[in-house]
Structures are given as structure tokens and as C-alpha cells.
Amino acid sequence: MELKLLKNIVACCFVQGAHQLPCSFSASSLPLTEENIGSKQKDDAVSGDSIRHKFLTFYASRGHKVLPSSSLVPDDPTVLLTIAGMLQFKPIFLGKVPREVPCATTAQKCIRTNDVENVGRTTRHQTFFEMLGNFSFGDYFKKEAIKWAWELSTIEFGLPADRLWVSVYKDDDEAFAIWSDEVGIPVMRIKKLGDEDNFWTSGVTGPCGPCSEIYYDFHPERGYEDADLGDDTRFIEFYNLVFMQYNKKDDGSLEPLKQKNIDTGLGLERLARILQKVPNNYETDLIYPIIKKASELANVSYVVADDQTKMNLKIIGDHMRAVVYLISDGVVPSNIGRGYVVRRLIRRVVRTGRLLGIKGDGLGNPEGAFLPAIAEKVVELSSLIDPDVKNRAPRIFEELKREELRFVQTLERGEKLLEEKLADALSSAEKNQTVPCLSGEDVFLLYDTFGYPVEITKEVAEERGVSFDINGFDTEMEKQRRQSQAAHNTVKLAMGNGADIAENVSDTEFIGYDSLYAKAVVESLVVNGDPATLASEGSNVEVLLNRTPFYAESGGQIGDHGFLFIQDGEDQPKAVVEIIDVQKSLGNKFVHKGTVREGFVEVGKEVEAAVDVKLRQRAKVHHTATHLLQAALKKVIGSETSQAGSLVAFDRLRFDFNFHRPLLDSELAEIEGLINGWIENATLLQTKVMPLADAKQAGAIAMFGEKYGEEVRVVEVPGVSMELCGGTHVHNTSEIRGFRIISEQGIASGVRRIEAVAGEAFIEYVTARDSFIKQLCSTLKVKPEEVTKRVENLLEELREAKNENSALRAKAAVYKASVIASKTLLVGNSKHFRVLVECLDDVDADSLKSAAEYLMETLPDPAAVILGSSPGENKVSLVAAFTPGIVDQGLQAGKFIGQIAKLCGGGGGGRPNFAQAGGKKPENLASALEKAQSELKRTSDSH
């Protein structure tokens, strides 16, 4: 498992510790210089890339299948991001899908952010890291896992055996004996630990087992007595072995699993730190080149920098790896979910860069973005981690540039807000004769919402003589941290009905590429959520067949609709099941969801499965049109654009793509023209199955979010498009008939969406639009080509009529104002404050404003005017106008009217001398105006 990464759920948390140079390094190493750090990294024998290669090769030579890293965006809905090497194997560990290989090894990209505040502060906390893992699916177990881990560590990587310590679960005598008797580790270097440290569980119930960890000792001179493996100034855990051998039952008891598994994790950056003899993970060749680039942009030397500067550079080095790989895997900055993780990390880098004094793009443009310059170094280092990153580099750079420049503007807004908060604090302190202080909530608001660094807030505040509530800020931070840790930060495993189904039902044979009809046997039934052997008329069912022509939803294409039939026979009556959805579950098992319309269905009976031919054709047309759309987009707006999601439905298609601006009308027209031209060319599609490596070499494009095996299906429109795709497609582009874009819009920062129709849906769309035009022509009594001009004329006439109407309403309101002016009250001790609070019935907001402006021009200073009205059902309009004499007394129209509007279920604001507000509770208007008048009287009496 992964170095305590998923403690209690998928492993344990990283141990925190201070940044300290081990004495074993300081005595024998050369003085720390930029050149020395670089020279350590140039040793190919201990480079990060060589460590990764040696690990994978070691296990490959022992029968393990080398599998690629899965995406940072996991298939598992219980997890926000990929935080463990075992995540892609979770269904196998649960017994929900059969193993394809007996054992495997991977170098998995991982992201964890629950300890983001510790990045740069400790020697080992990271947001992005690589987990090297070897996994056994019921093949080998403890003895092999332990012996291989030891052999790898001491022989392959050459770690001194007397520097290695081991922890085992307190009751795992078997593992203890293997380490001591067979491996030969002295018992004083084997620590027995309890449930919290060395027993891995997947949850309250489910797979679990003891684990064993290997630690490197930086300070063996401290001896064995009282040695604490949790002391990270001395030890670093780099390899964790989980022995998944039990199932934890509801009553807490443990029963042996039928299949015992091995799940391990070796931290690449941690082992690199040990082998490269550097004091922390950041100074390894995996991260330091990024830090060095940031140092150059900041015009500082990492080697001679103080601790604070080094910490800031480490934050940049770590976070830039995370954001580059996340964006490469399709995550774009936003305010929710994964997008928020990316946005938060980017903002941390921008804030930190500004603290270091980085200005501009490093190329002489002081207004430019510096993130792309650092990202270039991340991309340069990525080739052996994820070769797709280099291909996606232009999009990554553009996304980083756009997000950085946008955030810089946010930071500037934060500066203005800080000035307001400081002014309020000083004013409040003077009024209440207290010490000026910024609240913890305000400091956190600046930090979290506006990205304003706490260090800058403190510095600016101290210059102004204002302190801030650091305890209150820490409280707000802790609230956010708890929320972050609770949001999908663990992998949840559970044993349930799915495991039973997996044991009894084989994968579904899909024949739907070649046939829309098949005879099949009912393998399993689920009725209203529970396993069953029979489903009667009216039941909502999930049916698993041994073979099917129905396409299951994947690759953006929705599942087929159709029917399952049982004809009258000697031993069974007629039955009909309407299928309205098909999903893949438990690996490659097709779940047909629908309703029994007639008769009953029973496990083991034969059915005739028939797909709705017309709906399948609509899906095929839209799927092929989606491929053509992506090809056209790349031609028109640039090859760097890439897919960010899709939907292939019966009535339309939807395609999301990365792009930084709305498409022009001319570009949309060009895209439509290209696609309809390809349709007209009547090109035959070619479909092949080939090795994944060959497909990528041929230039095939992968679908966003899809996972691929070693053999892939390639769909090609010769000369136009080539994509990896398991969906259904037309045989000839002419079947698409026609293509029309119906909308183009932004759905997130840097992500656009096109919706379009093709085939029969295109015909329906055009027919409907033609009908609308005919009706419009009939109503306007013009020819189709004259509609636009006629509508423009009508709109101009309407605008003129509205303007005339508004002018008349404004005049009427001013007249009403002149009438009520005589109702002005003289208030205050000196009776020289003029207050006018009135309701003008149904006057609209603009006219109310005109009335207030008239009164301010006619009433002597100082005067305060509050007008209200109810211009419509559930509508309230309010306006406040204060002359300079009122404002000088400390009253502000915006704040005053905002409070009054709350009484009417609304709000508002504006300038100190003039403000408007609205509400939705006219029944409260009279009491709100009374409140306004009493407040104005009270204020005037105090002056």
C-alpha cells in the first residue's frame, strides 16, 4: 500500500516533521551549491527515472504485468482524485471483476491535498507524487512480498541493510518470523505496532489485513534503545506492504478471504531522496529543476536563500507538478470539485511567486504570466511519467496563463478590500476607544476568496497600526481543512451483493456491432434493487444476459433502448420487457434496465433481445458526427484544442472542448461547412482493432476520460478523423445526411460546449424551424427574406414607445414629488435636518429615482429622502438620497437603504449620497418606511 497515504481507509497519513539535514550527509557531502545539487541529479544510477525503471523491471522479471498509470481523474465515484496506486485495481480486490493477470506493477500518478498547508514546510509532504506498486491478485502472498521488497531495497537499490528498520502488525507473527528468521533482520530493528499504524481496513466492513513497512534510518548512531519510527528527524518510511487477507464482518469479526491479495506502495520521491542523499524530497531531480527555474524568475539563489524563501520555492516546485498533470488529464480550474483543487493550487503558486518578487513572464513582459515558463520545465521532465503531457502542452500553457492573469486581477481586488477592512477597523477602534484589529473571518475571507496572502495582510495591517485575530483565522482554516479532508479523500471499499453477482455471472458477450438481434439466456435478475430469480409484470428490473446486441452507455454514447421477448412455448408463457437503459457494471457485465410489460421473466430462461433500430441509427449518426466535429474544430480553431466531455444521444449530440473564447459566427459557419462537405463526400468508415501503442503511433485520438486496454478499437474516417472509440458508428458518412450546430456556449473557465443535431434529428430540427418561419411570416405579413428587417423596425418602434412611456412616468413621479415635498419634517435638536419618507404607490424604480433626484435639487441641505413603492406583484422599490450635510454626519445612503430593504425581503446599495434597493415583500413596505423615518430621527437627535 501507499506509505500510510490511506490510513484506516486505503492507507495511513504521511508523518510530519521538521526540515533537517541528516548528520550522515552533512559530514561526508560536499558543501551545498547549485552545482552540487545538479551533480547528484546527474548520476543516472540514482536518478528518479532510473529508480522508476528499475522498480518496474524488477517486478516484470518476476512475472508481473507492467501496466500504465491510470488518470488522475478516477473511474471510482467515491474518490475525487486518484490518491492510490491500488485504485484502478479496487474492483479486482473486491472480487467484483475477475483478474486479467495474476500480478501487476505500476508507477501511478497520485494527488493528495488534505495536507496542502504542510507542503514546503516538512521534508516530505507533496500534492503530486508517484507511487510505485506491486500487486498480487490471489497469486503470491506475504513471504514473496517481503523477500522481494527486501531484495529490491538492499540489492537492486543498494540500501545498507543495517540502515533498514521494519514495522509489523502486533499480532502478525507470520510476518515477524519471515522478517527475522528468513530475511535475517535483527529483532531489535523490527517494531510491532497497533491497529492505527499497521492494520489496514477498507471501512467498517470489507477487505482488510495487517501491513508491514520498511523505514530508512538516517541516524543509526542513535542506537536501538527508545527508537521511535515516528521520529521523522531520524526515519523515513518508503515502502509499505499490505497483506489483504481478511473480510471484516458486521459484528467486527474477521474471516479469511477466499483470495488473499498483496497491495504495496513505494514512494518514488522518498526513495530518490535517500539514494540521491539530499535532505528532502524537493531537492531530488524529480522536483529541483522546477525549483531552479522558479529561482531564476525570482532572481534568487535557492542554496543561500533563507528558510522562508526556500519554503516558497518548494511550494512552487510541488504545486506546478500537480497542476500540469491535472490539466493534462482534463481537469480545468473552476469553483467546484476537481476544478477547485486545480484553481486553489494555481492561486497558491501565483501568491507565492508574488511573495518571491516574480514579475511578468520572464521574457521581458512585466504584464505577462510566469506559470507557463515554469510549466515548460514540468513538461520537460514528464516524458517518462506521462508522454501525453508533452502533446497537451500548448493547452496546458494557455490554461495556466489565462488563470494566472485572471487571478492577478482578483488579488488587486483583494488589495482594495483590505483597505476597506483596515479603514473599518480603525474607525471602529476610534469610536469604541479600543485597539484596532482585523477579525479572523475578514483575514480568512481575504485569503480564501481573494487569494490574498496572510503574510501580506499582516505586513500591511502592522504598517497601519492594526493587528489581526490570528486565532479566529486559524479557526476558519481548520473548518475548511475538515471540509477538505471529508470530501472524497479516501477510497471506500465494501463487500455486498455485487460480489455475489460477480462470482455467478460471467462477462457479457457484446455482438451489437454486427447485429441488433440475439437469442440470450437470463443470467441474473435484480428487482427493485434486490437480487431475484423471477420478475413479474409491472416490476422494474435489471437483467444480465450472457450475450447482448444492446450497447451499454460509455464513451459519451447513451445505452440502447429496445425489448426482451419470450415467445409462447411449451414450458413458458409470452413475456415482454421494455429496456430503457443499459449500463456496464462490475467490469464488463451489461445491465439491461427496464420494466416487465407482460408476463414474467425468470433466471435461466432464453429471451430474444432486440434493439430499437431507429434509435440505434440516431445514436450512430450522432457519434460519427461527433468525430467529424472534433476534426473540424481542430482545423478551424487549432489542433491544440481537445475534448473535455461529450454526450451522444438520440435527439442531439453535445461536445465539450478546451478553448479560451466564444467561437465567432464565421468560425461556426466554417465548421458546419466542413462537416457537411465530409458528409457529402460519402466516405466509407474503417474500423480496426489493434495494439494501443500502434494506434497512438498512427495518430489516433483518445476519448476524454476513457480507459483503454492493450487492444483498442480504432474508428477512422479516412483523411478526416481517427479516434480510439468503442461506440457505434455509421458505415458511410452519407448516412448522416446533414449537420447543424444549434448552440455554442461557455460552461466553465476555458471550456466551451457545442450542441448539434444530425441525421433524422437534423431533419426534424430544420422542419420545425421552417414551420416557425412560416408562422412568423404569416403573422408579420412579409416574405422570409424580409423578416429580419421587419423585426428590427418593430423593435425600434417599441424602444421609442418605451422611452416615451418612461419619460411620462418620470414626469408623473416628479409631479408627485413636488406635491409631497411639503410633507418634509424638520428634526434634530436644532430642527435643521430635513427628512422626507414617503410611499409613491406603484411608481417604477426608474421613476422613483427621478422623483428622488428632483427632491434633492429642491430641498435645502441637510436633507434625507427615502422613497418607496410597489411597482408590481411581489415587488418593492426603494431609493435613498442624502445631501452632503447628511453624509458629513456619517450616514451613507447605500448602507442605510440596504438595511431597510432587508425588512422587505431584499437588499441593495449604492453611493454614500444616492442608492437604490429592491425587495419582494410589499406587505412589509409600510413598516420598513416607518423604520427608516425613526432611524433618521434618532440619528439627527444625536447630532
Instruction: Kindly state the DSSP code that residue 118 receives in the 8-state scheme.
Output: G
Going by C-beta distance under 8 Å and a sequence separation of 6 or more, which residues neighbour residue 781?
none
The helix-helix angle for 307-328 and 288-298 (nearest 10°) equals: 120
- Collapsing DSSP to helix, strand or coil, 641 comes out as coil
19 is an annotated ligand-binding site residue: no
623 is an annotated ligand-binding site residue: yes
Closest CA to 3 of 81, 122, 100, 86: 86
Q: Are strands 437-438 and 467-468 parallel, antiparallel or unpaired?
A: parallel
The helix-helix angle for 787-820 and 845-858 (nearest 10°) equals: 40
Q: No. of H helices and E strands in the chain?
A: 27, 35
Contact 690, 710 (CB under 8 A): no
Q: Is the dihedral of CA 22, 28, 31, 36 positive or negative?
A: negative
Distances (CA, A) of 268 to 96, 103, 262, 274, 767: 30, 20, 19, 10, 61
Left, alpha or beta for 35 (phi > 0: left; psi -120 to 50: alpha)?
alpha
Going by C-beta distance under 8 Å and a sequence separation of 6 or more, which residues neighbour residue 811?
none
Place of cell 453624509: 887
The helix (run of H) or strand (run of E) holding residue 326 is helix 307-328
Contact 721, 713 (CB under 8 A): no
What does the block give as the cell for 754?
457545442
Instruction: Kindly state the DSSP code that residue 304 receives in the 8-state scheme.
Output: T
CA 578 – CA 594 distance, rounded (Å) = 5
CA 760 – CA 652 distance, rounded (Å) = 10
- Collapsing DSSP to helix, strand or coil, 834 comes out as strand
Rounded to 5°, the CA angle 334-336-339 comes to 45
Distances (CA, A) of 914 to 287, 416, 616, 852, 898: 56, 22, 62, 9, 12
Going by C-beta distance under 8 Å and a sequence separation of 6 or more, which residues neighbour residue 168?
175, 176, 179, 190, 191, 192, 193, 198, 210, 212
CA 89 – CA 133 distance, rounded (Å) = 11
CA 55 – CA 266 distance, rounded (Å) = 9
CA 837 – CA 514 distance, rounded (Å) = 79
The helix (run of H) or strand (run of E) holding residue 58 is helix 48-60
Going by C-beta distance under 8 Å and a sequence separation of 6 or more, which residues neighbour residue 252?
none
Contact 568, 538 (CB under 8 A): no
125 is an annotated ligand-binding site residue: no
627 is an annotated ligand-binding site residue: yes
Q: Are strands 534-536 and 547-548 parallel, antiparallel or unpaired?
A: unpaired
Residue ranges of the binding site for Zn(2+): 623, 627, 725, 729
Residue ranges of the binding site: 623, 627, 725, 729
